[in-house]
Amino acid sequence: MAKSTVLILGASSDVGKSLAEYYYSKGYGLVLAARNTSLVEAYLSKWPDRNEVKLLSFDANEFSQHKEWFTNMGIVPDITICVFGYLGDQEKASRNWDECNRILISNYSGAVSILNVVAEVYRVKKKGVIAGISSVAGDRGRQSNYFYGSAKAGFTAYLSGLRNSLLSSGVHVLTVKPGFINTKMTAGLNLPKPLTAQPEQVAKAVYLGCKNRRNTIYVLPIWRLIMLVIKWIPEFIFKRLKL
């Protein structure tokens, strides 16, 4: 493998694919982990040179396997990026526990389970960077997506605590709040262009965020301002808004 290696958890996502391309272009070795590896194979087959790329099957739901899975990888990646997530169907989830639980696992408990394992290895090695793709949806609960939003809020709080806990070991944790991204997750939604990032922009922002040891980044800076305003709206007004 190359000098530095990045593990991408959720490599079949549009953001995961852009991250893989970006890090590869910067000379990193890649460990691409995805539930559906054939989706990753499909884009890898278009790459002229696949040296330094390892493809692994990974399911965030398989909590009991995560420790063994990471240990069996055979290398310790320098950077781990947790990208997987699931927007889900808010309406369906309010009536159907399986859908609700899938949202919670894919955005929170699955991420906590695997990152706990990674964090403990990095803590002992006193080295490593962890990045988590969270969401502005976690900054304040809204009626349109509070299952997804609350899971991302939990993930944001987890990453914050982990950063605090790992500082003295020299391990860094980056929280990424992308705003809207133009991916298959949002296909069919009418997203405002100026507020919507492309997956390539997210990849570059994550790369720079890890390199410069940033704590929390909003991929498009306008989102920091938007969320500041949203968080400041008094609750007696906020609860009446159709958001």
Ligand X SMILES: NC(=O)c1ccc[n+]([C@@H]2O[C@H](COP(=O)([O-])OP(=O)(O)OC[C@H]3O[C@@H](n4cnc5c(N)ncnc54)[C@H](OP(=O)(O)O)[C@@H]3O)[C@@H](O)[C@H]2O)c1
The contact set with ligand X (CB under 6 A) reads 10, 12-15, 35-36, 39, 58-61, 83-86, 106, 110, 133, 135, 178, 180-181, 183-186
* Cβ closest to ligand X, residue 2 vs residue 62: 62
CB 67 within 8 A of CB 21: no
Structure-token pair, residue 238: 């906020």
* Cβ closest to ligand X, residue 124 vs residue 228: 228
Closest contact distance (angstroms) between CB of 184 and ligand X is 4
Three-state DSSP state, 136: helix
Closest contact distance (angstroms) between CB of 34 and ligand X is 6
User: Which of 133, 141, 134, 135 minimizes the C-alpha distance to 90?
Assistant: 141
Closest contact distance (angstroms) between CB of 242 and ligand X is 20
Give the torsion through C-alpha atoms of 59, 61, 65, 68, to 10 deg.
50
Which CA distances in Å does 154 have to 23, 85, 91, 217?
A: 28, 13, 21, 17
Closest-by-Cβ residue to ligand X is 85
* Cβ closest to ligand X, residue 35 vs residue 140: 35
* Cβ closest to ligand X, residue 119 vs residue 151: 151
C-alpha to C-alpha distance for 62 and 189, rounded to whole angstroms: 31
CB 195 within 8 A of CB 180: yes
Closest contact distance (angstroms) between CB of 16 and ligand X is 6
Closest contact distance (angstroms) between CB of 3 and ligand X is 27
* Cβ closest to ligand X, residue 96 vs residue 167: 96
